[in-house]
Each structure stands twice: as C-alpha cells, then as structure tokens.
Amino acid sequence: MHRSLRATGPVTTFVLCLDQLCVEMLRVLQEPGLEPVTMEQLERWAPELPALRNTRSLIEFYFTLTPFFTQYVLEKAADGELVTYIDSDLYFFAGPDPVFDEMRDSSIGIIRHKFPPECRDREAFGRYNVGFVVFRQDPEGRRCLQWWRDRCAEWCYDRPEPDRFADQKYLDRWPALFQGVREIEHKGANVAPWNIANYSVTAQNGTVHIDGADLLFFHFHALKQLSTFVLDTRLRHYAATLVPAVRHLIYAPYLQALFATQRELDIKLADLSENAAKPLSREGSRVGVRERVRRARDFLAGAQRGDYVYVLGSRIV
C-alpha cells in the first residue's frame, strides 16, 4: 500500500504496529516516508487503551484503535492540513489528489460503500466505508474525530445494531452532526469487491478506468490466501464475478507487488526468529476434519465461479 501510494508522489505514512513482528519488518525494510508507531507509543498518548483492551475481543480492540490512532497523527499536522486514515489492504493505481480536490474547504471526507442492489442489506454494517476517511486539522475536523473516539471507547463491537457496528457505522451520523462533511463522489476512489459489480473496467494507455474514470485505489477486502499458489478474491460474496479485466488489470498488479514484497521480507527477516522467517502464507498443520471439508467445499465453489487467482512463477492467471 505505502509503496503504491508513494509511487504517485511524496507522502508520509504513519503505520500503527499491532505487534513486535510488524515493528521488526518495517525496521528491516527501511522504507522512505514510512514512520512506524508502536502500541506502546499510542498507549502512552492514550493511557485508557489498556483498560479498553480487556472489555472486547482482539479484533474489536483493533477497531477501537482507528479514531485513537488517527487523532494521534492529526495532532502532529499543521493547521489546515489533511490527514487520511487508510486500511492497509488498499493499493493505489493513481494519486488520490482528485479526492482532495473534491474536498475543497471541507473538514471531513467519507466514501459510500456503493453496494449493488443485490447487496443493499449490507448497509446494516454502515453506509460508508471506514477504509478511507479524511480529516482536516481544523475545529470541525477535530470535533468529529473526538466524537468518534469517544463513541468507540464506549462501544465498539463486531455485531451490527440499529445505529452502530464496530468503528464503521458511526460514520453514518456524521453528515447530520458536523459541518463540512464531504461525500467523495469520484468513481475510482475506494473501488472494492462490494461495488465492482456496478462498474465497467477497461484500460487505455496503461491507465485503468472505472466507467471511464481513472481508478485511483482499490480496496482488496477479504482477499484470502488458500495455499501458496491460490488466492480467493471472495467476489461471489458481493454478487460480483472475476471477469478477465478485473483479474488482469486490478488483481494481477497487486498480487505481483504483494509477492515481491513477501520475497523481499523472507530474505531480510532470515536473521530474525524462525517464525518471522516463515512465509506469511504458511499455516499450522493441525487442521480438523470438519474444517478441511469446509475448505474443500469453499475451494470447489470458488473454482466453479472462477473467483480464484493462481500464481504460476512470476505470472498471475
């Protein structure tokens, strides 16, 4: 994600490292423009976090961290500067400047999921996606972010309720609660498995287009590695199909970059612990019979629908 974004122009990416292995990886890579932030640093800044950790599951605690970490970074920004929270499974095909151009003088930027009609019921998890959220260092941006932090400290659980779900559904309330909220409209911003069925994907002169608009960034949500050489896009869960254009223009470049980074890490982490040196795709060998049967069924269903991407040497097919 960081390398794809940096390829579009100068940027500083702050990364919240949820464990020590992540810290070591980033230190080994020594990536320009990347600043690791450890959990210890964040907890010194927000001392209430350790107590919150004990009130929810690990994934729910990670959801809780989103507004805390964003606020931690926003405090370092100059007046009027924009700070964007982004999920790590985004990949940039072009610079995000069109998104910031849309914001103009707005204080907060959010992007709808844009579910197709067949998946409209998924709005129970939130109308807007939390994977790309922009805040300006101004009074309204700070007020919104503090409100979000307070709400997630109070309640941030992995279950949908009428007006909340994890850290995400709180975004639905922002247009009514705060001034300067901008709903980003660019079709190429935060394209994802849950909305790709809405669009026609084409390419011209090396640029990927979404209904004629430049693809800015794709959100590779739920991409699952089934084995060393097989990955499941899980598009079928969102009434979408892995058509050739999506496979070759969107997934192939991302997977090539992902596997190249994996190989680099495997080499550079060889002098660390044995676990750190193992490929990330490896699993423990003790898998129950019922789980193996479920995986086999999922594999056959995905193969029949053509949802899988296969890695053959340096080729993605």
What is the distance between the alpha carbons of residues 277 and 239, in angstroms, rounded to a whole number? 38
Q: Are 92 and 4 in contact (CB under 8 A)?
A: yes
153 CB-contact burial (10 Å; exposed 0-12 / middle 13-18 / buried 19+): middle
Residue type for position 4: S
Q: Give the per-residue pLDDT at 275.
A: 47
Q: Residue 273 — very low, low, confident or very high, per pLDDT cuts 50/70/90? A: low
Cβ 16 vs Cβ 37: under 8 Å: yes
pTM: 0.88
DSSP per position, 257-274? HHHHHHHHHHHHTTTS-H
Q: Does residue 283 register a pLDDT over 60? A: no
pLDDT band at 310 (very low <50, low <70, confident <90, very high): confident
Distance CA 35, CA 46 (A): 19
Give 251's DSSP letter: I
Would you state the structure tokens that stand for residue 26, as one six-digit string? 């980033």
Give the pLDDT band (50/70/90) at residue 267.
Answer: confident
User: Quick one: pLDDT at residue 157?
Assistant: 98
Which of 149, 1, 136, 167 has its CA nearest to residue 69? 149
Domains and CATH numbers, the chain: 2-316 (3.90.550.10)
Measured CA distances, 227 to 121, 281, 282, 302, 308 (Å): 31, 7, 8, 14, 11
Instruction: Tell me the pLDDT band of 303, cut-offs 50, 70 and 90.
Output: low
How high is the pLDDT of residue 30? Answer: 87
Residue-wise pLDDT tens digits, 154-183: 999 999 999 999 999 999 999 999 999 999
Confidence band, pLDDT 50/70/90 cuts, at residue 302:
low
Neighbours of 137 (CB within 10 A): 18
- Dihedral sign computed on CA atoms, order 141, 218, 307, 120: positive
- Calculate helix-pair angle for 20-29, 252-268, nearest 10 degrees: 90
- Total length of the chain: 317
Contacts of 166 (CB under 8 A, 6+ apart): 60, 63, 125, 130, 156, 157, 158
List Cα–Cα distances, 194 to 35, 39, 118, 226, in angstroms. Answer: 31, 31, 10, 20
Instruction: Quickly count: other Cβ atoms within 10 Å of residue 306's Cβ.
Output: 15
Rounded distance between C-alpha atoms, residue 153 and residue 141, angstroms: 18
pLDDT reported for residue 278: 44
Helices assigned H by DSSP within 210-251: 244-246
User: How much is the mean pLDDT over the chain?
Assistant: 89
Give the integer Cα–Cα distance in Å for 31 and 28. 8
